[in-house]
Structure 1
Amino acid sequence: MRRLYEQGFEREAVVNLLAFIDWMLTLPLDLEREFQREVEQLEAEQRMQYVTSFERIARMEELVEAIKLGLELKFGPEALNLVPEISSLEDVELLRAVRNGIKTATTVDELRQIYQSSTTDNLLEN
């Protein structure tokens, strides 16, 4: 299975072949369980695709745009003063937290605490 994925076969083709082999060959229960664990691990690895720096930057830019829209809609145009601070963040997960925080934050300062506390935590860890 690993070689099939490495050769670029789609998941559906691999699963179809696996179903055919499973139909033709019966493994002892302990080997069947071991094979199932290995298949699950392999599929988990396949879902964790490498993200290029270009894709990461594009995601960050999209998040910043979503944050800008959310800030303006919820807090008004004055809230866009936060954009330079938010744009300097380099952590996609932190940007997602800020975007999601717009839903529950009642003030701009409350939203600012999301990324300032995380930035302070990172500095203390290093």
Structure 2
Amino acid sequence: MNPFAVMVMAHLKTQATRQQPNQRLQWKLEVTKSLYRRGYSRQNILELFRLVNWIMTLPEELESSFNTEIAAFEEEEKMPYITPLERFAQEAGVSAGVLTRGREDILDILETRFGPVPSSLSDRINAIDDATYLKTLLIQAVTLSSLEDFERAIAPNS
């Protein structure tokens, strides 16, 4: 599964489980475990997991269940890709870091898919301080078919 397929799958399963948090938990576990099974490098797993974690949000009690099950999976498979320190940082959810990471992820995806991102567009993305809107843009960066479509999608909101 290529990285974009992982993000599309996370997005589709998030949409499909909008009112079904227990089902979303199961899909988040499946998507996350698939990252380990695909043989991605440690760095790629961490980057993709950050995006999956951002897209597939869970209620606090289910997030705790998710963390417990992934820790057990890592132990069982001898794959400690997400260190306790990294997990703690994710749980702390420092908003400035989340916003910065979200902006960087959007720009990385756009550049990977479409080539150089014009500075006017990157400036507009870097000016966004709304995590929910950044999440929407991240999904659009993965799913829209061109940089021009993305620019049209962001135009009314920036």
What TM-score range do you get, normalising by the shorter chain? 0.3 to 0.5
Q: TM-score, normalised by structure 2?
A: 0.38
Larger radius of gyration: 1
Q: TM-score, normalised by structure 1?
A: 0.46
Higher normalized contact order (CA 8 Å, seq sep 6+, divided by chain length) = 2
